[in-house]
Structure 1
Amino acid sequence: MTDASQAERKRVWTTPANVALCAEADIADPGSRAFVLQIGEAFFHGFVVRKDGQVAGYVDRCPHQGFPLAIELDRYLTPDGSLILCGWHGAVFEPLTGECTGGPCAGGRLTPWPVQATNGIIRTA
């Protein structure tokens, strides 16, 4: 794939419900994992955070400038696992609400991606 064709890849911002993503145990607590789903000819980029036995999903796009949050695959959390970190400009977000509590988009929030854990499997909701 050329650079030009990658730039033209269509993105979507939602996913169908009930798509199995992974086992809940596949994500550490606290931890995070990226997911890219192909929906027809387009691609959805999101990530799931697991913290305190709960899961939350977000579109992988910082509200500050629209970049993906992680610089390194699956590294969405601060080293202590307490917050989501945008590796590009340092914005920090609450893991279970997506609220930005510091950095260039303070007061904003991540776009939620509805997910749920049922019977040990994380699925889109």
Structure 2
Amino acid sequence: MDRLTATPAGVTLGPLELIPDGTARNFVLEMRAGRFHGFVVRKGGRVFGYVDRCAHMPVPLTQALDAYLTPDATHIQCSWHGALYTLEEGRCVGGPCVGARLLPWPVTTIDGMIVTVGEEQA
């Protein structure tokens, strides 16, 4: 089964409370075309979604479930090679791939629910 890098718009992932502020959560979606692995970071009332794949090498970012953030929750961190990414843009600011970006997974909140959006809506 192929690993996908996008999902359709309108997929409800769950309530915002599913992700405590300052943390991230992994999501795996089974679709006809394959399986999607992504994660959502919550910062206050805002959410940022990314494909779970390091920009340095095509491996998942974490070796432990939902452990995407640095201990102080200021950056996304690859547990394999130490790359550090900004929460808001997924831009690498430290490690082996400075300047590269994580693949975005457009998500938003609607009526307290985390929902995927289309690229044109992001």
TM-score, with length taken from structure 1: 0.91
CA-based RMSD: 0.8
Query: How many equivalent pairs are there?
Result: 117
The 5 Å alignment of 1:20-59 reads 20-59=12-51
Which residue matches 2:120?
none
Structure 1 or 2, whichever has the larger Rg, is: 1
Spell out, residue by residue over 1:60-107, the C-alpha distance to the aligned partner (whole angstroms, 9 max, x if none). Answer: 000101110011000100011110000000000001110100000111
User: Which of 39, 64, 76 matches 2:68?
Assistant: 76
Q: Distance in 2 between matches of 1:88 and 1:123?
A: 29
Spell out, residue by residue over 1:30-60, the C-alpha distance to the aligned partner (whole angstroms, 9 max, x if none). Answer: 1100000011051000000001321010000
**Secondary structure of 1:25's aligned partner:** helix
Which residue matches 1:111?
103
After TM superposition, the runs of 4+ consecutive aligned structure 1 residues lying more than 2 A away are none
TM-score, with length taken from structure 2: 0.93
